Amino acid sequence: MSIGILSISFGVPITSGTAFPGGTGVAPSLHIECPTAASNPAFVGTNKFSCGTATTVATILNPPILNATSNQGGSIPIPLSTNGTATGGVITWAPGDVGVFDLKGVLLSLNGTTLSKISAILTSTPGAGYSIGSPTSAASPGSQDVITSILPGITADKISLPVSLPTAVSSALLPAGVTVGGAAVYNLLGVGTKTSFVLRIEENYQDLWKSSSQFNGGGVFPPSTASSTQVLVQFNNIPAGVSIGGCNAILTDTSGNASAGTPAVTVGSLGVLNTSANTILVGFTTPVSQSSVDVVWVACTSITGGTAPLPATAVTAQVTMAPTGSALSSTGGVLAAINTGQIPRYQLALVPATTPPVVVQFPAAASTLLIPFATVGGGYNTGIAISNTTTDPLGSPSLATAQNGSLTFTLFDNSGTVKTYTTVASSPGSGLTAGVLNSGKTYLVNLSEILTAAAAGATFNGYIFVQTNFTNAHGAAYVYNGAGFTSATPVLVVISRPSQESLGQ
């Protein structure tokens, strides 16, 4: 026999080291053990390998030789000699002698791989007189599957903002009496707002999420109950000055029943999301089910601040597994610093990559007014006045921001017909500038004039919605006949109606 070099190859980078994350050559670091009949009842016979101690028989170095090339290439060389090095003495075995060793504490990077599984391939070069055995289930001699399935942890189709929520979710995460989810709606007037949203995130397979004790046999770094697999939610487009708070999370099964695995939630900066601190991190402080798929529900219930005008771009959410970081250093070495060598560790891969779900909407600055009764006909007409009060003396500075905008009249006649008219440069009445009502101005018009402009006939009995492209709209209306009869009809400011709820919610 001659000196041979065994090589164990995985085909992907190795991210653990011979002294990381534990001590040198011991669990949970990458290390080698030589089983005996005493230490491993499954092994029968005499093991001709000795781990870590030079003998005249055969030594397997523990820890093995591992360098940046080995880590990057995903291959570990193991010399077969009397002292475990490539320059040691030639080992002498009798025919039929068997050597067995266990390679433990191997962590692999699957980032970017197109493989569907990972196999450990054992080869011997150049040595003569050796044969390599494998389990009977192996695809080929010297081969053993070590990862049987590779799947993404979180996929875009498993992230949503459902309107209908399980009772366990709404009762745990939302204020009393609030039972519906969906996106939040926010404006500076506090009119028609909904300040809560609930994000649903489902793991893509049943044992993705783990507590620190469940991952790598507890071989995490830093050694802490906080070193679990984590879910990172990134919120995009939070406007300057806007704060999102009241955030928390709950874990359920896919049917909405509470699950084990107590979520630990870290929110932005001091418990608040804003433009510079825009992430929520969810970890698991107790063991999570490894036999059923679980769902993380993330909710926030408070939105405050901001300056007018708020942007039209909505706040969206993207999700990735965490902690995030590179698998290896730029030179291929194992990252072992407290802020770069976390175990577990994932590549940042935010999903959905495109069209992420909207969690907070900022509707265009607008007001909606309702005239419950208006009439034209039989000698009667309805006079309408709409004021743009975004210029006001209230506050210093004013709470309103001067805005100019058009008006849209939606006419609901008792006959069943509905007509819509938006002001333009040629619109009737007075107070408009090129069809726009400027801040601090009032638009005066008769309903009969609107009917003509809208080609809505000559008579009307019904109600009218007036929608303005500016905030702080107010109005007055009156029915008159020009012969001494005048009667006011109210003009109401409409607050957006809440979502419909079923009896089962």
422-439 burial string, b = 16+ CB within 10 Å, else e? ebeeebebebbeeebbbb
Query: Quick one: pLDDT at residue 367?
Result: 85
Strands across the sheet containing 473-480 = 442-446, 381-388, 473-480, 486-489
pTM of this prediction? 0.74
Query: Quick one: pLDDT at residue 505?
Result: 34
pLDDT tens sequence across 288-334: 999 999 999 999 999 999 886 678 789 999 999 999 999 999 999 99
What DSSP element (H or E) covers 452? Answer: helix 447-453
Query: Quick one: pLDDT at residue 83?
Result: 84
pLDDT tens sequence across 129-149: 566 665 555 555 678 899 999
Mean residue pLDDT across the chain? 89
Query: Quick one: pLDDT at residue 498?
Result: 45
pLDDT tens sequence across 178-191: 988 999 988 776 65
Residues of the chain with CATH 2.60.290: 367-493
367-493 — its CATH code? Answer: 2.60.290
pLDDT tens sequence across 228-268: 999 999 999 999 999 999 999 999 999 999 999 999 999 99
On whether the CB atoms of residues 193 and 495 are closer than 8 A, the answer is no
| pLDDT exceeds 70 at position 99 | yes
What DSSP element (H or E) covers 68? Answer: helix 68-73
Residues in the chain: 505
| pLDDT exceeds 90 at position 417 | yes
Confidence of residue 80 (pLDDT cuts 50, 70, 90): confident
Write the DSSP symbol of residue 500. Answer: P
Choose among 318, 312, 239, 313: nearest CA to 275.
Answer: 239
On whether the CB atoms of residues 247 and 332 are closer than 8 A, the answer is no
Confidence of residue 167 (pLDDT cuts 50, 70, 90): very high
If one compares 484 and 81, the residue with the highest pLDDT of the two is 484
- DSSP secondary structure of 26-48: STTSSEEE---TTT-TT--S-B-
On whether the CB atoms of residues 286 and 251 are closer than 8 A, the answer is no
d(CA 109, CA 346): 9
d(CA 251, CA 258): 6
Write the DSSP symbol of residue 87. Answer: T
pLDDT tens sequence across 393-408: 887 666 677 778 888 8
